[in-house]
A and B are shown apart, each in its own frame.
Chain A
Amino acid sequence: MEKQATRDAYGKALVELGHRYQDVVVLDADLSKSTKTAEFAQTFPRRFINAGIAEQNMMGMAAGLAASGKIAFASSFAIFAAGRAFEIVRNSLAYANLSVKICATHAGLTVGEDGGSHQSVEDIAIMRCIPNMTVVVPADGTTTRKAVEAVYHRPGPVYLRLGRPAVPVLYDDSMDFQIGKGVELRQGRDATLIGCGIMVAKCLEAADRLQAEGIQVSVVDMHTVKPLDRELIELKARETGAILTVEEHSILGGLGGAVCEAVCELFPVPVVRMGINDLFGQSGTPDELLEYYGLSVAGIVANTHRLLSKK
């Protein structure tokens, strides 16, 4: 299967966007080679601002650029974009409802060897509770490319969560990406696996294994965590009566939290949340870390069994 890191897809999509729209400007904080904004910087040097190692000022400058009519894409690692710069994101970008697209790479455990200090496991939760903010977590390169175009056109601030490692390409170009609309990748009656980001591919793999055991699960790619596709969640709760959420993020406040909020209000059914169990990460390879923290295909299969026992 073809693989591509979502940050690589982002870097390429930005250059395409820059060719199409003159009002696109890009900011980075000394990580352009890692976030992949470097190609935009080389292609459009006049529209690229390196803030240096100063994420707070990067966000503040992005606000000023957006207030002057630019559509600003601001990139850093998730830990700094959502963490270090939080209050500037909250007050300068979201409170003023400015068109700044925070494209945060190296989210989650799969930062890998750099360790827990650099592994953002709280960013979805932090960004999700800010008014005006849209939160998108693409599963693959195709979705990322389409999301970059979509967030350009969406007024207001957006948090686009991207990853470091190469992940399977799940979609071809015909994919219909709409902010706020989850994608049902597989239909099954026994339970629904709702994933986001790099965990969607693992949900599909788990669905195959479960099918071999005679368990039919639906798989939903919930690429937009906010605004959440509550209609689809209610529909799947009614159809399958059990929901497993899977994310490379804390089980507190992220996709799992958002789905629980919707399910308990709309149509309560048993939910199991898979994610990082209120812990910090540590050094290791991305695959080792996902395995260690239980975010593996085997983990999804086991948790689906646990979920089904609650029905």
Chain B
Amino acid sequence: MREITESTIQAVEAKARSMRRHIISMLGAAGSGHSGGSLSAADIVACLYFWEMNVDPLQPHMPGRDRFVLSKGHAAPVLYAALAEKGYFPIAELETLRKLGSPLQGHPDMRKLAGVEASSGSLGQGISWAVGMALAEKMDEASDYRIYALLGDGEIEEGLVWEALMAAAHYKLDNLTAFLDHNQLQIDGPISEVMSPEPVADKFRAFGWETLVIDGHDPGQIMQALEVARNTKGKPTAIIADTVKGKGCSFMENKAEWHGTAPNREQTSQALQELESPITKA
């Protein structure tokens, strides 16, 4: 699975497309939730679950599994879409998103849904968990697994993120890879206007991380970056993924107002129509 070939890339692209359709459907059914940041992260999460990570939906608590922490937990739909596609639970259950009694909580809840590794979503906390998980892996000499985290670019305005980044480099956690979903938008507008964290790559480097900047919608680049991360020793790797908020849905793309909004019935069917045909590369 881990070769980078035209066919593995196409397989991941197909999964990402299915995941985007699931995201639209479940948000449409829920009537609320975070569309833009779920869609922007779909290609990254698809690469992780369908190319990179050693996980088994039949053994969700397998000790040697790789771990993924969705630090930007409001993008829960992208995680649920990946878990359902992977076979952790039936795809039909996605329609219960955000409903009373559903394991698909508004933000991920590890106690309600197998496959969720961290109850994240209060921003900044997931990366801190991921650092703790990477420390635990290092402590156990027999273990050999990797930890992945996905941060939002608005999320990194939280001070806790930088405490965690500092600790990861200090403890030389080369088993940890963090993606930054760099879609440039947060609830109140462009990150550059609300509270600019730029230059983000320089900041990650200054905090001691091996830092790569890639196109976060190009599975081939994502896979290559994951290879670099795997081969980097003595420090954690940050993959700054340039993305488009709302990617794949024309009327959502690059619009901050789609951060925390779900599509209505008409918008849902329009989005699903757009996602029926293969996404053409720009």
Contact = CB atoms under 8 A, between A and B. Distances in A.
A292 to B, nearest CB: 36
A24 B125 CA distance: 22
Contact of A96 (B63, B119, B133, B136): B119
Interface in A46-81: 46-47, 49, 51-52, 54, 56-57, 59-70, 72
A67 B170 CA distance: 21
B229 interface: no
Nearest to B165: A57
Nearest to B130: A64
B163 A62 contact: no
Given A60-B132, A61-B132, A96 B111 contact: yes
Interface stretch (A34-42, A84-92, A279-287): A84-92
B135 A65 contact: yes
A54 B166 contact: yes
B129 A91 contact: no
B167 A51 contact: yes
Nearest to B164: A57
A96 B125 CA distance: 12
B37 to A, nearest CB: 19
5 contacts: A52-B167, A57-B160, A64-B136, A65-B136, A69-B63
Contact of A64 (B109, B111, B132): B132
A188 B211 CA distance: 69
Interface string A164-201: 00000000000000000000000000000000000000
B128 interface: yes
Given A25-B139, A96-B111, A57 B131 contact: yes
B137 interface: yes
A95 interface: yes
Contact of B125 (A25, A46, A92): A92
Given A61-B164, A62-B132, 5 more contacts: A47-B139, A67-B117, A67-B133, A92-B122, A96-B109
Nearest to B159: A56
B136 A56 contact: no
B128 A63 contact: yes
A61 B128 contact: yes
Nearest to A66: B132
A61 B125 contact: no
Contacts of A120: none
B240 interface: no
B129 A95 contact: no
A64 B117 CA distance: 9
A41 B79 CA distance: 38
B125 A91 contact: yes
Contact of A67 (B110, B122, B159, B166): B110
A68 B110 contact: no
**Most chain B CB within a 10 A radius of its CB, from A57, A59, A67:** A57
Interface string A263-286: 000000000000000000000000
A97 interface: yes
Interface in B36-81: 63, 67, 69
Contacts, number: 104
A69 B110 CA distance: 14
A218 to B, nearest CB: 41
Contacts of B271: none
A88 B126 CA distance: 10
Interface residues of A, number: 29
A123 B3 CA distance: 53
Task: Give 8 nearest A-B pairs by CB, closest first.
Answer: A64-B132, A60-B128, A68-B136, A57-B163, A61-B132, A64-B129, A54-B163, A96-B119
B164 A68 contact: no
B254 to A, nearest CB: 31
Interface string A207-232: 00000000000000000000000000
Interface in B109-146: 109-111, 117-119, 121-122, 124-125, 127-137, 139
Interface string B139-172: 1000000000000000000011001101100110
Nearest to B110: A96
Contact of A52 (B69, B110, B166): B166
Interface centre among B69, B118, B163 (most CB of A within 10 A): B163
Given A60-B129, A64-B128, A88 B160 contact: yes
A57 B167 contact: yes
B111 A97 contact: yes
A56 B110 contact: no
B53 to A, nearest CB: 16
Instruction: Identify the interface centre among B125, B130, B166: most chain A CB within 10 Å of its CB.
Output: B125
> Could you say which of B63, B117, B167 has the most chain A C-beta atoms within 10 Å of its C-beta?
B167
B135 A61 contact: yes
Given A88-B128, A92-B129, A95-B119, A60 B136 contact: no
B164 A60 contact: yes
A147 to B, nearest CB: 24
Contact of B131 (A47, A60, A69, A70): A60
Contacts of B160: 56-57, 60, 88
A52 B171 CA distance: 12
Given A56-B160, A96-B119, A70 B128 contact: no
